[in-house]
């Protein structure tokens, strides 16, 4: 488990961490919300890197619950870890898929030797998951992970999401 787990309200694209997590769609070619903001801030080379992933390793796209990394290009972080959250509106209601987004992202971060990572509230936007449920699953996934990260940060774009994550915070071990 990380030595420090925090929640902040803010813009994930300006976070000074080794890796930020992108709540991507399976095409990896950009979209709205967090995905669009990350692509805009990273610049056009991120889209080129994602197209290369699609051409080589992921011709059918990134599966729901999985994660893959690219460079971060114009972002202050070193890497972007792309993960595809389940879409409740499309019938993807299994909490294990959402948990996998967090755990797979942590595994990818460990493979990169990242020391710090920032997560958004994966699937809590247009994918229709309840913020409270996302927060509970996210906290459970990161506090249950056996990873040697110095810091895990939840970066939440609204006060509503930040409050949901604060309410879901385990009573011990996290700051």
4-18 pLDDT, tens per residue?
999 999 999 999 999
- Predicted confidence at residue 124, as pLDDT, reads 96
- Would you give the distance in Å from CA 34 to the centre of its chain? 9
Residue found under tokens 């011990």: 172
Q: Please, which residues bridge with residue 70 across strands?
A: 80
Position 76 confidence tier, pLDDT thresholds 50, 70, 90: very high
Position 1 confidence tier, pLDDT thresholds 50, 70, 90: low
**Does the pLDDT of residue 144 top 90, yes or no?**
no
CA distances (Å), origin 21, targets 27, 106, 138, 171, 172: 16, 9, 13, 25, 25
Average pLDDT of the chain? 94
Query: What would the two tokens of residue 30 be?
Result: 């950009």
**Does the pLDDT of residue 114 top 80, yes or no?**
yes
DSSP string, 21-68: EEEE-TT-S--SHHHHHHHHHH-HHHHHHHHHHHHHT-TT-PPTT-EE
Contacts of 126 (CB under 8 A, 6+ apart): 32, 33
- Would you give the distance in Å from CA 139 to the centre of its chain? 13
**Does the pLDDT of residue 142 top 80, yes or no?**
yes
Mean pLDDT value of segment 129-150: 92
Which residues form the catalytic set?
35
What domains does the chain contain, in order, with CATH numbers? Answer: 4-168 (3.40.220.10)
Residue found under tokens 């595994």: 107
Q: What are phi and psi of 58, to 5 degrees?
A: -130, 60
- Predicted confidence at residue 3, as pLDDT, reads 74
């Amino acid at each position: 488990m990380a030595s420090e787990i925090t929640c902040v309200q803010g813009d994930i694209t300006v976070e000074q961490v080794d890796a930020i997590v992108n709540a991507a769609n399976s095409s990896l070619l950009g979209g709205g919300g967090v995905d669009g903001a990350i692509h805009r801030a990273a610049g056009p080379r991120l889209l080129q890197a994602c197209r290369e992933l699609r051409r080589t390793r992921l011709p059918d796209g990134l599966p729901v619950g999985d994660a893959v990394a690219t460079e971060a290009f114009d972002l202050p972080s070193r890497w972007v870890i792309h993960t595809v959250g389940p879409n409740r509106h499309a019938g993807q209601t299994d909490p294990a898929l959402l948990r996998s987004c967090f755990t797979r992202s942590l595994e990818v971060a460990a493979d990169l030797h990242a020391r710090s990572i920032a997560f958004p509230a994966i699937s809590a936007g247009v994918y229709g998951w309840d913020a409270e449920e996302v927060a509970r699953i996210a906290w459970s996934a990161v506090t249950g992970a056996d990873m040697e990260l110095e810091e895990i940060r939840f970066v939440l774009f609204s006060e509503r999401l930040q409050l949901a994550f604060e309410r879901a915070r385990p009573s011990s071990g996290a700051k």
